[in-house]
A and B are shown apart, each in its own frame.
Chain A
């Protein structure tokens, strides 16, 4: 997160006054300075409560964009912990630092010309082989990905395995920030997922058929009908629609198959 301190930020006294109104406050440390913030806030909201204005790099606030990577420690524990600031609620005495961006090497390539071969990854990211299996990347992943195992999969030329292991990656970059070998794991994984999706997984034939049907204007008249419908009519259609039951099996079909 790019952060600015609000000129009109609450003073510490102000925070405490709020506390006297009955909200339970918990002490946290943002960049080394102590604040008391209401319990149950996320780290991101706690920072705003403390007076920070998050200008950019605070992202989606929904745990999917990877912009708010955060590292923290608790007193008396040598273990470094990680979280997404928008997801993790504050805990007493946590020392918090934001890593909204981490400079990482990203290779340039012409994707159309890449083959689904391990050597393509080796050539673009030769630093892959600097990995010493220290596993710091795995410990730094707020998504719980087995990052080092995915790096190993790439070294073993198993692009599909690397793509699958890294599926939940949100590219926050915390792995790269901790890497002994200076790898940018998340960019390598993105390459793996691209190759896997475009060049390894079999094409979905039913999708191509459907796109063809759409291009042949098979659904246009239904859509035009909907576009011209009045609000009341749309509401009625929506309320009376036949919904797929929660327990429906794969062979479930609606009674009215006009649109299939």
Chain B
């Protein structure tokens, strides 16, 4: 069986360490991620200006093309792409006037009405595969790895597009448990990483990183588990600067898909650890998960 899959631009360049382990893992789980053809940028960010329709064109064109290919469910992997696509989809479902304007402009030969269901890979693991059956497929349990789930914003906010309980999400915790790891809850797991503020206020980013990472660390986390390439960039860069300034150690940042591939016993090469911040290899070796 295969799933219609939307990768996103960053996953093809900087965040290959998020995508490649996911593609390999899903194949191992018997649900192949089948990249849709003719996809373009998701729009990068969902504009908050209500009448800024030109920036809705990119996500809606993607969804329109997916429907034209006869696919009614679209799996995303990047948390930011999920957010942008899902919010644009909601607009197409609910706002008749803007829908008509967009359909007329997009001009792809069909009128799109928001009928494609946009989901995140974590939802596929939770709702279609299930934690128990995932746990049964684990070949290398991540025993003794104390990992702190970090959701950031885009999987959970706004409420209308959240993939889990907004206040108390559990999907990453359950995921880590299924892989045999010890999830570490901490208060900042749904705090914003600073997002695109990195462009206009780069100095604030290391402060966000300090608050989030020192909290995770003081709760006993050995690594922070991410779903979003922008969180990875902000926390990674912020942490790098902090450690330069204050000589603090770095908490390794890992994508959830890298842990999935490791636990399923796949070749660690697919994880591209060389693209990670804070060199997680030594931690994984110390835990006997990497040789």
A134 in contact (CB, < 8 A): yes
Which chain B positions have C-beta within 8 A of A180? 54
Known contacts being A148-B40, A149-B40, is A132 close to B12, with CB within 8 Å?
Answer: no
Bound-state Cα–Cα, A151 to B40, Å: 9
Q: 23 A–B contact pairs at CB < 8 A?
A: A118-B13, A119-B13, A129-B41, A129-B44, A131-B40, A132-B54, A133-B40, A133-B41, A133-B61, A133-B62, A135-B61, A148-B40, A149-B38, A149-B40, A152-B39, A152-B40, A155-B9, A155-B40, A155-B41, A156-B7, A156-B12, A158-B12, A180-B54
B107 in contact (CB, < 8 A): yes
Are B13's CB and A156's CB within 8 A? Answer: yes
Bound-state Cα–Cα, A118 to B107, Å: 30
Write out, one digit per residue, whether chain A residues 112-150 have a CB within 8 A of any chain B CB (1) or not (0). Answer: 000000110000000001011111000100000000110
B60 to A, closest residue via Cβ: A133
Return the 9 tightest CB-CB contacts between A and B, nearest first: A133-B58, A152-B40, A157-B13, A156-B12, A155-B9, A133-B40, A156-B9, A118-B13, A157-B12
B103–chain A nearest beta-carbon distance, Å: 13
Which chain A positions have C-beta within 8 A of B58? 131-133
Bound-state Cα–Cα, A182 to B45, Å: 20
Known contacts being A157-B9, A157-B12, A157-B13, is A132 close to B57, with CB within 8 Å?
Answer: yes
Residues of B within 8 A of A (CB): 7, 9, 12-13, 38-41, 43-44, 54-55, 57-58, 61-62, 105-107
Extra inter-chain contacts (13) besides given A131-B58, A158-B12, CB under 8 Å:
A129-B41, A129-B44, A132-B58, A133-B40, A133-B58, A135-B61, A135-B107, A149-B40, A152-B39, A155-B41, A156-B7, A156-B12, A157-B9
B39–chain A nearest beta-carbon distance, Å: 7
Are B55's CB and A132's CB within 8 A? Answer: yes
Bound-state Cα–Cα, A152 to B35, Å: 14
A175–chain B nearest beta-carbon distance, Å: 15
Write out, one digit per residue, whether chain A residues 151-179 have a CB within 8 A of any chain B CB (1) or not (0). Answer: 11001111000000000000000000000
Are A134's CB and B57's CB within 8 A? Answer: yes
Interface residues of A in 25-77 (CB under 8 A from B): none
Bound-state Cα–Cα, A82 to B106, Å: 19
Which chain B positions have C-beta within 8 A of A155? 9, 40-41
Which chain A positions have C-beta within 8 A of B105? 134
Bound-state Cα–Cα, A152 to B65, Å: 14
* Residue of A134, A139, A148 most packed against chain B (CB within 10 A): A134
Bound-state Cα–Cα, A257 to B102, Å: 65
Are B13's CB and A133's CB within 8 A? Answer: no
Write out, one digit per residue, whether chain A residues 198-230 have a CB within 8 A of any chain B CB (1) or not (0). Answer: 000000000000000000000000000000000
Bound-state Cα–Cα, A135 to B105, Å: 10
Bound-state Cα–Cα, A180 to B52, Å: 14
Known contacts being A149-B40, A152-B41, A155-B41, is A134 close to B12, with CB within 8 Å?
Answer: no
B51–chain A nearest beta-carbon distance, Å: 15
Are A133's CB and B57's CB within 8 A? Answer: yes
B233–chain A nearest beta-carbon distance, Å: 14
B84–chain A nearest beta-carbon distance, Å: 12
Bound-state Cα–Cα, A84 to B14, Å: 40
A180 to B, closest residue via Cβ: B54
Known contacts being A156-B12, A156-B13, A157-B13, is A131 close to B38, with CB within 8 Å?
Answer: no
Which chain B positions have C-beta within 8 A of A131? 40-41, 58
